């Protein structure tokens, strides 16, 4: 309960995309979210009834499409109550990508996005808009084990960012283990969308609107002037509502590793590092501590990725998922 005696709810959406039987297939993403589900239940006080798990396993009834993921996130936010101190958590394991920025002020930069199983991209603006809808006093923690995941909540403050160019990761120790990147280059995503629409254009928005209509991301649905207006409104709200906490599997310009496959249990390197840190430290950990320790685990194992933390100064020192 919070100081006013209101019951604090713990709500979660867990998404794992392995893209089975495609050229983009991964192996550890579903395992990542199932392991996290068990951790949330046994350690952090979450209830089964307050979680939604979306995977693209053949037997899954609800697939992790862009529309389904956003709908699940919206349901989670709608359940949160003002002043309750509710804890919201989103774990995503799957491919990530970077696309040319559609922000009017940054036409030559790149923006980050996750890649649902139907390639209906969810971008940093979509996550920013979601966070800005949170009731006062609520927290939203996003753990993204995907490539280019640094900065996935637009305008969130960088607390633990890129290593300098002089830093060097050690050579991979586990050379016998299959390592797959969780990155989908811009051209591959564009080629896939083009094959579905049959339209010859390099404009992402055209393809996404043709395929998904109103379920496409905000960046692709809004005219330039409306997007500028939305961004200005978001900036105004960010000063008062900065409840987003992003734990990214790597820097915005890095890839995240998917480990294993045919033999042995597959997993995401970052998700596994988080689980390792939690197992080795039974007490409550600050968000900043958790990310630093996960970096140490990955460096020790020889992975060339550097997890980052984006959130307010207050949330950097807050306890991960408000562990009792």
Task: Return the pLDDT at 175.
Answer: 39
Closest CA to 12 of 86, 66, 68: 86
- pTM of the predicted protein model: 0.90
The Cα 243–Cα 301 span in angstroms is 32
Distance CA 114, CA 121 (A): 6
Distance of alpha carbon 322 from alpha carbon 284, whole angstroms = 8
**Mean pLDDT computed over 289-303:** 96
67 pLDDT higher than 80: yes
* 90 φ, ψ (degrees, to nearest 5): -125, 120
pLDDT at 303 over 50: yes
Mean pLDDT score across all residues of the chain: 87
CATH topology of domain 10-322: Rossmann fold (3.40.50)
Average pLDDT over residues 92-101: 93
Active-site residues: which are they?
Answer: 95, 147
Segment (H or E) for 287: helix 287-301
**Lookup result for tokens 């591959």:** 188
Residue linked to tokens 């603006």: 125
Q: Is 138 helix (H, G, I), strand (E, B) or coil?
A: coil
The pLDDT of residue 300 is above 50 = yes
How far, in Å, CA of 147 to CA of 150, rounded?
A: 8
Question: What percent of the chain shows pLDDT beyond 70?
Answer: 84
Q: How confident is the model at residue 191 (pLDDT cuts 50, 70, 90)?
A: very high
The band of 220, judged by pLDDT with boundaries at 50, 70 and 90, is confident
Beta bridge partners of 143: 91, 247
Pick from 16-30, 96-110, 307-321: least confident: 96-110
pLDDT at 323: 87
Find residue 247's DSSP bridge partners. Answer: 143, 309
Residue 238 has pLDDT above 70, yes or no: no
H/E stretch holding 141? strand 139-145
Backbone φ and ψ of 315, nearest 5°: -75, -20
pLDDT at 83: 77
126 Rama sector, left if φ>0, alpha if ψ -120 to 50, beta otherwise = alpha
List pLDDT tens digits, range 258-294: 998 655 689 999 999 999 999 999 999 999 999 999 9
Predicted local distance difference test score (pLDDT) of residue 106: 57
pLDDT tens figures, 194-206: 999 999 998 888 9
pLDDT given for residue 100 in this prediction = 85
Query: What pLDDT does residue 2 have?
Result: 46
pLDDT of residue 210: 94
- Judged against a pLDDT cut of 50, whether residue 176 lies above it is answered with no
- What is the model's pLDDT at position 63? 97
Is residue 167 scored above 50 in pLDDT? Answer: no
Structure tokens that stand for 251 in this block: 């820097």
In the structure encoding, which two tokens stand for residue 44, read together?
A: 């952090």
């Amino acid at each position: 309960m919070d100081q006013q005696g209101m019951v604090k709810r713990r709500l979660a959406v867990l998404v794992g995309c392995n893209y089975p039987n495609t050229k983009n297939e991964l192996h550890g993403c579903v395992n990542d979210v199932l392991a996290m589900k068990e951790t949330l239940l046994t350690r952090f006080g979450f209830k089964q009834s307050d979680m939604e798990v979306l995977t693209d396993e053949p037997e899954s009834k609800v697939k992790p499409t862009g529309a389904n993921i956003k709908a699940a996130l919206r349901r989670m936010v709608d359940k949160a109550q003002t002043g309750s101190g509710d804890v919201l958590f989103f774990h995503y394991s799957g491919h990530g990508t970077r696309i040319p920025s559609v922000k009017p002020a940054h036409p030559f930069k790149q923006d980050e996005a996750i890649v649902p199983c139907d390639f209906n991209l969810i971008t940093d603006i979509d996550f920013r808009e979601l966070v800005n809808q949170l009731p006062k006093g609520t927290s939203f923690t996003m753990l993204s084990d995907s490539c280019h995941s640094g900065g996935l909540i637009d305008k969130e403050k960088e607390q633990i960012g890129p290593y300098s160019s002089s830093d060097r990761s050690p050579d991979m120790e586990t050379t016998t283990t299959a390592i797959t990147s969780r990155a989908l280059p811009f051209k591959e995503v564009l080629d896939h969308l083009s094959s579905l629409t049959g339209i010859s254009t390099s404009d992402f928005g055209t393809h996404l609107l043709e395929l998904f209509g109103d379920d496409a991301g905000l960046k692709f649905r809004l005219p330039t002037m409306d997007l500028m207006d939305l961004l200005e409104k978001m900036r105004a709200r960010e000063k008062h509502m900065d409840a987003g906490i992003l734990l990214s599997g790597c820097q915005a310009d890095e890839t995240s590793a998917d480990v294993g496959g045919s033999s042995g249990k597959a997993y995401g390197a970052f998700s596994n590092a988080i689980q390792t840190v939690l197992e080795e430290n039974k007490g409550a950990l600050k968000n900043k501590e958790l990310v630093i320790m996960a970096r140490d685990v990955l460096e020790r194992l020889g992975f060339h990725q550097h997890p980052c933390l984006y959130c307010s100064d207050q949330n950097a020192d807050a306890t991960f998922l408000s562990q009792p």
